[in-house]
Structure 1
Amino acid sequence: MRDIKMDLLSTEILTNRLRLKPVSMAYKEEIFSEFTEDITKYMCPRSPQHIAEIEAFIDNAILDLKKGSDLRLVILKKDSQEFLGCVGLHGMLGKTPEFGIWLKKAAHDRKYGLEAIRGIKNWAEQNLDYEYFLYPVDRANIASRKIPETLGGKVVREYEHKKTNGNILYLLEYRIERA
């Protein structure tokens, strides 16, 4: 079982090119400007209309970090500290935590998503008691589907999900086993 004393607010994960650190208000402007309609096309949430929505997201993320239920991190380039997006591991108190990720448009096609998810997976294998990971992704989002497939994920469920804007996502839920 995860050590109750683990401080997720100070968790930092380093990979070859990336630094993952807890989301904070320091990144609200970048999150607001980069979490666009185009980025959220295959995601459940819609793009924010007002920065207050991002502030509420960050406040909730910090509460979840304090509770130990979700690890929500910003993705930064290690060398320049450039903001690239956000990544999370949700439902950490259960046996099947779920990955989530988004990258700003300028960071696409560089395998940052795979590197970030792999970094969190490696961290979780050292720090969490779980059975396997889940990774839901819209079936049309080929680039994002490559992440769980590269990590050995297998589709275990297909379902529809209505987005907050009313559009329908056609999700494939991947199961990723422990290493």
Structure 2
Amino acid sequence: MNHRDLSQCRVNTARLLIAPFIAADADDVYQAITPTLTRFMNFEPAESPEAFASVWEGWLPLIREGEEIIFIARLRDNKQFVGMGGVHGLQSQTPELGVWVKESLQNQGYGREIVHAITLWASERYHPQHFIYPVAEQNTPSRRIVEALGGVISGRRENIKYDCVVYHLPALTS
């Protein structure tokens, strides 16, 4: 593994196993991406597993090259798929965070747990100035995640699907 290859990273928590996306995760991810889940996201569900493959196959070289990392979270006790968290622009001073939790497991604190774990990992490894966390203005649960971790609104972004606020989240230390 070269120093930038992130494919072996683990950021596990007490409840979750959090590891980089691999091809074997694709079906669980595909099954969880629903129209209601993506109402506050910049994308729509893929029309087929093959269409989704054209998306996730693009993630793997970015993870290997250390440009970004897409994590998969699973329950520690039974390995059930929970959701995804990502850090984009890892080499920048202001990497961008993203997270989603499958609908059946929302409102149980998993989103905050995923964001906290990956933010702590990226803070210790990359020492960013701060993180960017864009979120739909109407997405109160996601806004609560970033606010609970110390994020403050720094601006807005135009988005085709929704009005977006952008938070700055400070780097975290353990």
TM range (shorter): over 0.9
Quick one: distance in 2 between partners of 1:170 and 1:154?
17
Describe the superposition over 1:82-124 as per-residue Cα deviations: whole angstroms up to 9, x where unpaired.
Answer: 1111110011011100111111111100010000000011111
Q: Determine the structure 2 residue equivalent to 1:173.
A: 166
Aligned residues: 171
TM-score when normalising by structure 1: 0.91
Q: 2:24 aligns with which of 19, 26, 41?
A: 26
Quick one: distance in 2 between partners of 1:10 and 1:56?
22
Give the drift of 1:33.
1.2
RMSD: 1.2
Q: Determine the structure 2 residue equivalent to 1:91.
A: 89
Q: Determine the structure 2 residue equivalent to 1:165.
A: none
Instruction: Please list, as runs of the form range in 1=range in 2, the aligned pairs for 1:92-171 lying within 5 A after superposition.
Output: 92-162=90-160, 168-171=161-164
Quick one: distance in 1 between partners of 2:3 and 2:157?
37
Runs of 4+ in 1 over 2 A off after TM superposition: none
Instruction: Please list, as runs of the form range in 1=range in 2, the aligned pairs for 1:11-50 lying within 5 A after superposition.
Output: 11-50=9-48
Local SS of the residue matching 2:79: coil
Q: Which runs of 5+ in 2 are unaligned?
A: none
Q: Which runs of 5+ in 1 are unaligned?
A: 163-167
Identity %: 25
TM-score when normalising by structure 2: 0.94
Between the two structures, name the one with larger relative contact order (CA 8 Å, sep ≥ 6): 1
